[in-house]
Structure 1
Amino acid sequence: MKYSKLIFASAIVASLSITSCSNDNDDTTVNYTIPATYTFERNSVTSVDYSGQSSRLLMLEEMGNYIKTAATAGTIVDNAVLSNMYSNTNNPFSTTELNTSGKQLKNKTAASKDYFELFLGGGSTVEKTNVQAFFETQLTLANQASLGTVASAGVAGSYLDGSSSRLFAANGLEPQQVLLKGMMGAGFMDQVVNNYLSKNKLDEASNKINNTNKVLEEDKEYTTMEHAWDEAYGYIYGADGTKYWSSYISQVNADSDFNTLKTDIDLAFRTGRAAIVANDYTTRDAQIDIIKAKLALVPAVRAVYYLQDGKGKLTTDGGAKAFHALSEAYGFIISLRYTNKPGTNNPYLSKTEVDAMLASMVSGTNGLWDIDTLGAKLDTLSTQIATTFGFTVEQAATVN
């Protein structure tokens, strides 16, 4: 099928044109336009839908806010409520839209096609079960920390950090932050790079033939391949477009050492989607590699930033003020297991390596509370991550 030019939005400004000299179908030159925003239409209506991804972003936000509110109010975190939120059972959310969405976080945790169906990247069904259980344990730990005890070495409880009260497990980790940052990896990152942008997913069954022939899903204005790409996009930019990965992409991008990151990821998503419409699978695949590489930088840079930020606060109030930052670092390190290095179908750091890093952070009798030996560990982990991803500790530590 030959395309001369495709316009995807009624009002496109500062758009880009792309010419591909080959695709998977023939050697015909393909010319098409990349829209200035992620706006694609068919038959004068949008062909983009990532409502399910937006729902899951909002579900995780509500889980985090539930724990935060309980910590601030000094009330007990109800483990049953959080568990219901995780699996979306018994109408646990504040809106009917979420409760009746048919979506949940649990079944999208460590559930990608590549890593946990095809077992690439070292994944397995056993790991999937264990990862889900790990996050359910964070819910239990939040409950235990909310029972009225003041947090101290080896004791779960609450701690007043300025005007904010936070809940900490006995080892000093903050369950809320481990949940949020960890799920960004095990849920959202995994789905983006190991599922919806997987060629095994995009091209499975008759997806490629149907996309080439523009066979649409029933009662929809998109092909299955277009929709899969949109779902990947939704895990980054869904809901109001500023949550989780989108927010941290902006934070990393604010540093001069990484100041093309946001543009690179956004352009790759727009280019890949336009390429799918134009049946230009060579360009599509090139954008997948860009997204995989650039997105993986975000948890890597933020992990090093929070490791160093936490290290700098170890002597403040006996180290407790550092634990919030270190818990964020812990969650971002979890996310590194779900990255996908282009050309390998494996993470930049293996599950074994990530598990060892996490164990190192909380090793010792009282985990993070053992501040006398913690600083050296944090430096070692920072260097390991920075070296793997090709930046310096100093570059990452300057990100706000």
Structure 2
Amino acid sequence: MNCIKHIFSFCLLMGVTACTQGINETIESAYQFPVLPEPSYKFSRNGESSVNTLECEFLKTPIDRIFSRYMNEARMGTQMEYDKAIRMFCEGEYGLKPQNEIATSSLRLTDREKILKDFSSWFDTSAHISGLGQEKPYEHRNMEAQRGITGYVGVNIGDKDICFVDKKGIAVAEVYKYAIMGAIYLDKILNVHLSEDVIDNSKVRSAHDLTQLSVGHNYTELEHHWDLAYGYYRFWESIAQSEGLPALKDSPRRIFHSFVRGRTYMETSRYDEIKLQADTIRHELGRVVAVRAMDLLAGANTLANLKESPKQAFRLLSQAYGLIYASQFARNAQGKPFITYEETRKLLQTLEQEGGLWDKERLLGEEKAEGSLRHLAAQIGERFGVLLEEIKK
């Protein structure tokens, strides 16, 4: 305590000295305030870590394999390949089955069957692009995409940086990749592990207050829910990076600090503070999904590609499609979705209508023009409280 008093006195003395040097005279002090280290998400009990997020990685592994092995390269041209992809989706690994983890929160259960049908349709479309059912599947797969015809988009089929699109120009693999970011990861973060069903649950709180650990583990049920929310957020972390977007400035930092603070407050059972941190995470992640979708739709990079070489914008617009789909799993401070399943489908029809992504003139229309990318981005922003100007770098 004496040490703290001496430091305080020293700082006060420095301030007094600076003030008495003379009117309107700037004095630079040699004293530099210490730079505090960034917090880390590390918590322990009895000398051992109390954080376990292995479930998140175990679930992500088959999801990523489906994308990289089958959908991204359109390798579902035989019944065997198609069956393997579906089996991986349905059975997964380590007992975690991707299909069973989609839209499992109480907030999304009413739409779950429709959401599962959407994923099924993306698998079937990917198989069609791959040539499944064709006499010569790989010849079908290797065709260059044209308006109304599936195929690859790129310089040639040997390119590493190519994508495979459907008749509308939509890269279904990218849709799957980003849609699942919402249907599993975002739903689990916001609507399962940080939900009121957990944080406000009297039994969960009581067990935490009594330090009742889960059988065979070093954490309470409340701690584990929070840790799993953080583990699934790690898959969103790269998307949350601002990359020059004003609307996302400091967003990753605020989200991370809220996760650390919330877990720290559990040590003293400060439940009101924990709920405030959860609210911050919800707010910030809602902005992340909206801003990223808007930037992919109407950002300078997308519009420039669409003007000069329309097909080069197909991957970006397909990612936007997936993020728009994912946005239905975000929720506001009142616990309601920012956008419903039906509203999401209606917005996506903007990209699918007529010639889809091949309709360059329609997509490049002004913000007031229905069917334009700017109009679609503005509609998303309106629901999430983000202005189109905020995505300008």
**Is TM more than 0.5 here?**
yes
Give 1:346 shift: 1.0
Q: Retained in 1: the 8 A contact 2:181–2:326?
A: yes
Question: Whole-Å Cα distance in 1 between the matches of residues 220 and 155 of structure 2?
Answer: 50
**Looking at both structures, which has the greater relative contact order when contacts are Cα pairs under 8 Å and sequence separation is at least 6?**
1
Q: What amino acid does structure 2 have at the position aligned with 1:338?
A: F
2:305 paired with 1:313: yes
The equivalent position to 1:369 in structure 2, one of 350, 358, 361, is: 358
The equivalent position to 2:44 in structure 1, one of 24, 41, 53, is: 41
SS of residue in 2 equivalent to 1:348: coil
2:140 paired with 1:150: no
2:280 counterpart residue number: 290
Q: Retained in 2: the 8 A contact 1:226–1:277?
A: no
SS of residue in 1 equivalent to 2:108: helix
Question: Whole-Å Cα distance in 1 between the matches of residues 196 and 155 of structure 2?
Answer: 46
Q: Retained in 2: the 8 A contact 1:216–1:222?
A: yes
Question: Whole-Å Cα distance in 2 between the matches of residues 14 and 221 of structure 1?
Answer: 29
2:266 counterpart residue number: 276
Q: What amino acid does structure 2 have at the position aligned with 1:209?
A: S
Q: CA 1:397–1:146 in structure 2 vs 1: closer, same or farther (change >3 Å)?
A: farther
TM-score (norm 2): 0.80
Q: Retained in 2: the 8 A contact 1:113–1:201?
A: no
Task: Spell out, residue by residue over 1:191-224, the C-alpha distance to the aligned partner (whole angstroms, 9 max, x if none).
Answer: 1101100011334462111011111111111111
Where in structure 1 are there 5+ consecutive unaligned residues?
1-12, 16-34, 90-98, 117-123, 238-243
1:52 counterpart residue number: 55
1:328 counterpart residue number: 319
SS of residue in 2 equivalent to 1:167: strand
Give 1:381 shift: 1.0
Question: Whole-Å Cα distance in 1 between the matches of residues 102 and 351 of structure 2?
Answer: 23
Q: CA 1:206–1:82 in structure 2 vs 1: closer, same or farther (change >3 Å)?
A: same
Q: How many residues align?
A: 336
Q: Retained in 2: the 8 A contact 1:68–1:166?
A: no
1:128 counterpart residue number: 112
Q: Retained in 1: the 8 A contact 2:240–2:288?
A: yes
Q: Rg larger in 1 or in 2?
A: 2
Matches within 5 A, 1:109-128: 109-116=102-109, 124=110, 127-128=111-112
Where in structure 2 are there 5+ consecutive unaligned residues?
1-34, 132-139, 366-371
The equivalent position to 1:169 in structure 2, one of 166, 170, 174, is: 166
Question: Whole-Å Cα distance in 1 between the matches of residues 259 and 178 of structure 2?
Answer: 23
TM-score (norm 1): 0.78
Task: Spell out, residue by residue over 1:280-332, the C-alpha distance to the aligned partner (whole angstroms, 9 max, x if none).
Answer: 10000000100000011111111111112433322444x22221111011111
Q: CA RMSD in A?
A: 2.2
Q: CA 1:103–1:254 in structure 2 vs 1: closer, same or farther (change >3 Å)?
A: farther
2:358 paired with 1:379: no
Moved more, 255-264 or 44-53: 255-264
Q: CA 1:285–1:67 in structure 2 vs 1: closer, same or farther (change >3 Å)?
A: same
1:241 counterpart residue number: none
The equivalent position to 1:65 in structure 2, one of 63, 68, 74, is: 68
Q: Percent identity?
A: 24
Question: Whole-Å Cα distance in 1 between the matches of residues 221 and 294 of structure 2?
Answer: 38
Give 1:142 shift: 1.4
Q: What amino acid does structure 1 have at the position aligned with 2:317?
A: L
Question: Whole-Å Cα distance in 2 between the matches of residues 70 and 197 of structure 1?
Answer: 36
Give 1:256 shift: 4.4
2:210 paired with 1:213: yes
Question: Whole-Å Cα distance in 2 between the matches of residues 150 and 161 of structure 1?
Answer: 9
